[in-house]
Amino acid sequence: MPRKSATKPHIESNTDTQKQKNVAKKSPKQHIEKIKDSQSTQMKDSTSPLSAPISTNTPANTRKATRHYARIKRRAKAHRIYTRFTHTTKRQGVKIIIGMFVALLFGILAAILSHLYLQASFKVSALLGIIALLVTLWTNKALPLGVVSLLPIILFPSFGILDTQSATANYANPIIYLFLGGFMLATATEKIGLHKVIAKRFLSLFPNTPKGIISALGLAACVLGTALSNSTTAILLLPIALSITQEYALKMRFLLAVAFGASISGITTPIGSPPNLIFLGFLEKLGFDGISFTTWIFMMAPLTCLMLYAMIYILSYKSGEYQLEVNAFSDVQTTAAHKRLLFCIVALLLLLFINSPIKPFYNGLGLNENIILLAFGLLMFVPKIGFLDWDDSKSIPYELIFLFGAGFCIATAFSQSELGGIFEDYFRQFENLPFIVFLFIACVCAIIATGFLSTTALIAILLPIIYTATQSFLKGSEPTITMLAITICASFSFMIPISTPPNAIVFAKGNIKAWDMVRFGFLLSVVGIVLVTLFAFVYWRWFLG
């Protein structure tokens, strides 16, 4: 009887062990129990001291089972990650190969067609082919923006378009340091939250109605745009517009106010938009007198105010007059750091204002706008005075600096080639038109072209063509006025998400419908074309002679 009772549990234990093997894969808990049960079934004769079963509750066995399952789990997770990474890498690799192949194909076709149909020389055909290659790579993003922007250093000397020294010198253009200093200030502004203090101040000046909030966001964008670029302004104000309301009809208008306001503010100062710097750099390469910081602001301030008023009217039309509860900045307080940075920005603007008027009488320091802005940017890294350390410099978009260099390099290549003569015959069709009509057509074409190419690349390509091809029928300052009008209109393309950086930023992160951007942006773009044409024909002519 005792032997029977000892054998029966042993048989049942073996049966239970077999069942555990069948279900071990179903859960981690059962897998651990399987190991415990398999150890407990190793029993000896009951009469022997060794006949006692191994304890299933010993800490060593439990830890061993847990570690075993953890290893299995880690291996499975590593396999999933490897598989996902491999598939993602393969897809990205295929896209890169296809994008580079398409760009190379377009470049070869552009070179061949220009040689066959435009009777261009080898040098000009190679230049057009390289530009087609660069434009395609900038558009399909097969390679990073900075990598594509450095290709002219290799390609232009390889085809005899520019020598290496001339090509690389464009990447150290003084205009680039103006942009670099501006981005240092923008990084400091974002780090300490000065943009929130400015936005809170403007929101408190207007009623909490849809029209009041649209006005506050537009004015805040213009104020920030005096020292920051339009893309940085849009990035800083975007979270503010998203936090006010969740109702789509109003949130969409607030987001468009940020995008359109940032684009409008981009024309206020030379550093507000990359096309502005491309235009100024091209004037310096031609040997013309540059437009000073003060002169630029006086030229653009009236246009900025009119465009801002038009934007507020269009976006607030039929938006209602009810009150909104705005609590986005209830916890934002003005600190000593905010006041210190605001003082630096105001001092910078004052110094830029007085630098140009006093330069004819006193130029002892020998500083220009580029060096002044870079000096204030570097001041942001000085301990106890500034707000940045070297780790913060990683957020500066250096790829845009390379893009500027590529634009200046293309402009130099255009000016040193006979490419203007190829397009001159096509532009002669407009020589009998009044200048104001030609300006209007040029502005319309510039806005349409921004739907297919980034504004920076477009201006870098268009300005040399416009200048060289219109020399035969545009007189005096008319070529410069035309190039300036095209540059400003490139910032007034409000219809398409990819037209300007603020549009792209708001469209990607704000989740608004493309049709809403088109229907509001079309009206504002029409207003912009008309105003730019009138300002260029009447007002800017007075400054540019």
Q: What is the pLDDT of residues 138-160, one digit of tens each?
A: 878 788 888 898 999 999 999 98
Task: Please state, as a whole number, how many other Cβ atoms lie within 10 Å of the Cβ of residue 177.
Answer: 19
CA–centroid distance for 325 within its chain: 31
Cα separation, 498 vs 500, whole angstroms? 6
517 touches 299 (CB < 8 A)? no
Residues 6+ apart with CB under 8 A from 407: 278, 281, 456, 457, 459, 460
Total-model pTM: 0.70
**454 — pLDDT class (breaks 50, 70, 90):** confident
**106 — pLDDT class (breaks 50, 70, 90):** very high
User: What is the residue type of 71?
Assistant: R
pLDDT at 350 over 60: yes
**Segment among 36-45, 56-65, 303-312, 385-394 with least mean pLDDT:** 36-45
**365 — pLDDT class (breaks 50, 70, 90):** low
Q: How far apart are the first and last CA of the chain?
A: 122
pLDDT at 74 over 80: no
SS3 395: helix
Residue 518's pLDDT is: 86
326 touches 210 (CB < 8 A)? no
Nearest partner of 466 among 480, 452, 456, 476, judged by Cα: 480
pLDDT at 300 over 90: yes
218 touches 257 (CB < 8 A)? yes
Which pair of structure tokens corresponds to residue 172?
A: 């150290």
**Segment among 19-33, 167-181, 319-333, 400-414 with least mean pLDDT:** 19-33
Mean of pLDDT values over 481-493: 91
Cα separation, 172 vs 152, whole angstroms? 14
The residue behind tokens 């398999």 is 38
The helix, strand and coil proportions of the chain, stated in percent and rounded to the nearest 5, come to: 75, 0, 25
- Give me the percent of the chain exceeding a pLDDT of 90: 13
216 touches 328 (CB < 8 A)? no
Cα separation, 520 vs 517, whole angstroms? 6
Nearest partner of 314 among 264, 240, 243, judged by Cα: 264
520 touches 495 (CB < 8 A)? no
pLDDT at 190 over 60: yes
Mean of pLDDT values over 244-263: 85
Which residue ranges make up each domain of the chain? 2-57, 93-161, 170-544
List of long-range contacts for 384-393, beta carbons under 8 Å, 24+ apart:
385/340, 386/188, 387/188, 387/191, 387/192, 387/337, 387/341, 388/184, 388/187, 388/188, 388/191, 392/187, 392/188, 392/191, 393/184, 393/187
CA dihedral defined by 170, 174, 177, 179, rounded to 10 degrees? -80
CA dihedral defined by 166, 172, 175, 181, rounded to 10 degrees? 170
**Segment among 89-93, 140-144, 223-227, 239-243 with least mean pLDDT:** 89-93
Cα separation, 403 vs 23, whole angstroms? 62
